[in-house]
Structure 1
């Protein structure tokens, strides 16, 4: 890829809309736009005021056919998204006008932008770092206000500043190590080792604190994958309907009504939830229902959170006990439904098997207990100690993995200090820590990884 060529793409979503936008970026952006745009005033676009919309028409220079009535804006480098000259054509939204204008721009010498190439150029030209670039897609795909806020903070550089602050502390420790190596003929005194040990432990604490936000951050970014399980007719589909506040799933008194997986997205107090209603888990000779049960178990294995439902008006069965044995190792909430009926279920047996799992009594018939369920879910996600409004969060699995490698490397450095190994060994561990953290912001990543990251972006962004 040549950074000095000119690219173009449709920047708005496909389909019918009030406005469609085609973006051009690169050295020839203004010349290409001048070749196809005729302003109402007759002035060339590059003669117009910078960053001001100019009214006119897109005209095919070969046939003089008017393609569309448009508003065009010219933004001069380096004060643009890519730090290159940018022209954006605002035309009528719809498949035909944006497609024809893009084809005309490509014919005039631009090439089609690759996925994420505008943001990639912003990164390569130094306007944003890699963590900020990845936050762009998080911003676009955010499903809740909370997730949007976290992504916006990262786009503004909150995570990058935290990581760079930690890297600077490591750099200071590396400077002391290098001084000690330069004067290797003298014995390294205890003061230097104590300084390195104290400094590295402080850095490690900061990295661990940042790493602890990763689980919550992943949920805010991707959604909490939640599966509702239980034996047939305990109220799983009724719970789905109650949380969605609509009749999404069929509810009857006939066991085994739900035979396929029903998946929905919802927002509970700022947390994006991917909620899956499954077929009741039981032994059955019905081939179709058996497939549904197998699917239920498959979704259970992938779930971040399990909502296990019991019927308080019935005694525990072997099926209930088998499911409880399954969820022992999972994060789970136990809902004891149908509390409006006489209670027969012995809850002490549930506690004996599941121990400290959250148990909530609800009645979907009387719509009680749902607010407690929502509060419990929120508490489990945030663990009571993470506040997204004033806390920097790790939301990206790549960042999490880089942090984990950095922590392990620093721990090895601390061990080397405690063993009073040669400074050369300690330096390697500290340098590796510095490099791993640099992967988050893009300072120490290779071209292949950069290409892979931006390949997941949408074209036009």
Structure 2
């Protein structure tokens, strides 16, 4: 446990009117501060009551001899708290004024205003959780779907940390064997063989590769799938958005160019958070407003993780269709052939010729046909290969992914060095680099400035 000599305080509830507001205090002065400003209904201080119970009373300003609010106060002693420090939580009436007045009084009596994420940072520094678990706290708060929440909760419970720690233990064992082999190479002892090192290194390499395979799906569950619907005017883009939302969000008419600006919505499709953007139809136009919308469409197209390209099967392919189709060659794309309730006039063989290996689905939004197939395709795009929707261990954090990539590169260098029968000193460097890169995930080997940067992204009060 790290000794931290100051006491921090912050409002732990969201701003605005509510039934309850909470002011949280953590540190060795927490009980002294609350004893100065709290009095129970029986006229006692909080320290006169047993810990781990809610005590009813009042917060008052001792300097002005005036009551501030009617409250319930809870006190828990270290180390059995979130931060592993003494914690006091003041439950007052919700609203901007009560919590503001109480926090100002707490700060006046000796606490310091907490930095963003400082309560969770103290939990990390005091050894209650590791860095990956600390980051999972923020993922829980910002989860957009049940699946994203479940993955974050699993990480908070240590699923990823345990896996990384087990792999690091293998690397540590390898380093110990290498050290023995180097230091006592002339002694009659059980030496580390190249076969043993190669087996262990390839085992670690496979474990890291398996974690990295989950990173794309994990990133989507954490941040959402940035999806854009494109196509020429009047192919059904807005109708698709309305169908997926199950509400009439976008205006739909038979007049081409009705959508002149982008419309952004958030969906939850089978646990996958999707930020979907209905764009203005991409075409040549002299209309100034529509032209601005078309330029915005192209901008969102370039930034998208997934492109849903829509075609009208009832009309022949146009130059605009083919131009958009060409643009999708290097993008992850789902092609929807709409209006299948009408006679076919579009040359779909031409589409297949250009859109090689792109998923194509025939739909009719008028007859509400094909939507389930669209949702199936979206799920398949997220959960690919060995990654399944039911998987509980997913890498959701870009920082973790970067550390894993560095670890993979190092262990691959180690495997290469072993196969080339290079001196064990070279292998030792690669194994140690792998061990350190994995340690960045749990915070065992991470630099202090990175830790500070991570917690700056937290909300104050958490």
Aligned residue number for residue 296 of structure 1: 297
Cα distance in 2 for partners of 1:412, 1:74 equals 53
Contact 1:150 1:388 in 2 (8 A): no
Cα distance in 1 for partners of 2:70, 2:142 equals 31
Aligned residue number for residue 120 of structure 2: 119
1:4: Cα distance to partner? 1.4
Query: Equivalent residue of 2:366, what SS?
Result: coil
Aligned residue number for residue 252 of structure 1: 253
1:221: Cα distance to partner? 0.4
Within 5 Å, give how 1:310-321 maps onto structure 2.
310-321=311-322
1:187: Cα distance to partner? 12
* 2:175 is aligned with 1:174: yes
Within 5 Å, give how 1:52-201 maps onto structure 2.
52-185=53-186, 192-201=193-202
Aligned residue number for residue 235 of structure 2: 234
1:124: Cα distance to partner? 0.3
Cα distance in 2 for partners of 1:418, 1:189 equals 21
* Cα pair distance change 1:187/1:2, threshold 3 Å: closer
Within 5 Å, give how 1:319-338 maps onto structure 2.
319-338=320-339
Within 5 Å, give how 1:276-295 maps onto structure 2.
276-295=277-296
* 2:391 is aligned with 1:395: no
Query: Equivalent residue of 2:330, what SS?
Result: coil
Query: Equivalent residue of 1:267, what SS?
Result: strand
The alignment of Structure 1 onto Structure 2 pairs a total of residues equal to: 461
CA-to-partner distance for each residue in 1:113-135, whole Å, 9 max, x for gaps?
00000000000000000000000
1:329: Cα distance to partner? 1.3
Query: Equivalent residue of 2:440, what SS?
Result: helix
* 2:182 is aligned with 1:205: no
1:259: Cα distance to partner? 1.6
* 2:382 is aligned with 1:381: yes
Aligned residue number for residue 452 of structure 1: 453
Cα distance in 2 for partners of 1:142, 1:44 equals 40
Contact 2:265 2:277 in 1 (8 A): yes
1:288: Cα distance to partner? 2.1
Aligned residue number for residue 223 of structure 1: 224
Aligned residue number for residue 364 of structure 1: 365
Query: Equivalent residue of 1:328, what SS?
Result: helix
Which of 440-449 and 242-251 deviates more?
242-251
CA-to-partner distance for each residue in 1:193-246, whole Å, 9 max, x for gaps?
010001100110010001100000000001111110011111111111111111
Aligned residue number for residue 21 of structure 1: 22
CA-to-partner distance for each residue in 1:64-107, whole Å, 9 max, x for gaps?
21111110000100000000000000011111111111111111
CA-to-partner distance for each residue in 1:295-325, whole Å, 9 max, x for gaps?
1111111111110000010011111111111
Residue ranges of structure 1 left out of the alignment (5+ in a row): none
Query: Equivalent residue of 1:395, what SS?
Result: coil
Cα distance in 1 for partners of 2:191, 2:324 equals 58
Which of 280-289 and 361-370 deviates more?
280-289
CA-to-partner distance for each residue in 1:273-296, whole Å, 9 max, x for gaps?
101111111122222222211111
1:420: Cα distance to partner? 1.0
Which of 212-221 and 56-65 deviates more?
56-65
Cα distance in 2 for partners of 1:388, 1:312 equals 33
Which of 110-119 and 59-68 deviates more?
59-68
* 2:30 is aligned with 1:33: no
Which of 156-165 and 296-305 deviates more?
296-305
Contact 2:40 2:55 in 1 (8 A): yes
* Cα pair distance change 1:191/1:20, threshold 3 Å: closer
Which of 388-397 and 314-323 deviates more?
388-397
* Cα pair distance change 1:321/1:189, threshold 3 Å: farther
Calculate the aligned-residue CA RMSD, in Å.
1.6
